[in-house]
């Protein structure tokens, strides 16, 4: 008999594969394995209603929030920070509308000490709805508190949109690339 020697049959409507690690050292083999495996979801019958599941691993647990979206598009979010004048704390969140109400997705929280590009984030958004990105800038010991800026993007099947935010601590470029989800 020629051809494959094994086959895979999937009866679930959704399969999510995980390989999450806790960064511990410079080399990948130094990292701790947090979650390695897959989760399947067969009964996603409530469209557009977010729910959270906890996935347990060897070194901890991860909470994952899911929602089944009709007419969804994929948003790849890229953030570049340049012209840095001083270090600052940054919080980046996305607000997407599910069933008419905004849901917050935290994309990044940390300290920025030099010009850099943040890791790309990919989320799903219902086509023709707005996606809001909120950036909060804060400096240790600053009397001015936090600066907050928002960018708005309308979800579309294909294309790219960019926004430039120039503030005292740094210049921030936000780029969103839209792709159809099939």
* Domain-wise residue ranges, the chain: 14-66, 72-180
Average pLDDT over residues 163-177: 89
Which secondary-structure segment (H or E) carries 148? strand 147-154
Q: How many CB atoms lie within 10 A of CB 172?
A: 24
- Give the residue, 116 or 169, on which the prediction is more confident: 116
Class assignment of domain 72-180?
mainly beta
Instruction: Look up residue 28 and give its DSSP letter.
Output: G
Looking up tokens 């804060």 gives 138
Average pLDDT over residues 85-95: 86
How high is the pLDDT of residue 35?
78
| pLDDT at residue 163 tops 90 | yes
* Total-model pTM: 0.73
Dump pLDDT digits (tens) for 21-61: 777 878 878 887 777 777 777 765 555 677 788 888 777 77
Dump pLDDT digits (tens) for 4-23: 666 666 676 777 777 777 77
Whether the Cβ atoms of residue 133 and residue 174 lie closer than 8 Å to each other: yes
For 112, phi and psi rounded to 5 degrees? Answer: -105, 120
Average pLDDT over residues 166-177: 89
């Amino acid at each position: 008999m020629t051809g494959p020697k094994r086959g895979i049959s999937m009866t679930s409507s959704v399969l999510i594969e995980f390989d999450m690690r806790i960064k511990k050292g410079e080399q990948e083999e130094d990292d701790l394995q947090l979650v390695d495996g897959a989760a399947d979801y067969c009964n996603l019958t409530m469209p557009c209603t977010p729910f959270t599941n906890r996935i347990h691993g060897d070194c901890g647990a991860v909470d994952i929030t899911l929602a089944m979206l009709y007419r969804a598009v994929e948003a790849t979010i890229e953030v570049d920070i340049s012209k840095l004048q001083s270090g600052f704390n940054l919080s980046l969140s996305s607000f997407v509308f599910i069933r008419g109400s905004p849901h917050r997705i935290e994309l990044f929280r940390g300290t920025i000490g030099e010009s850099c590009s943040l890791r790309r984030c990919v989320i799903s958004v219902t086509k023709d709805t707005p996606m809001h990105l909120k950036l909060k800038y804060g400096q240790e010991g600053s009397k001015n508190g936090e600066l907050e800026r928002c960018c708005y993007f309308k979800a579309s099947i294909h294309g790219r949109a960019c926004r430039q935010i120039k503030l005292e601590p740094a210049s921030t470029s936000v780029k969103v690339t839209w792709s159809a989800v099939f």
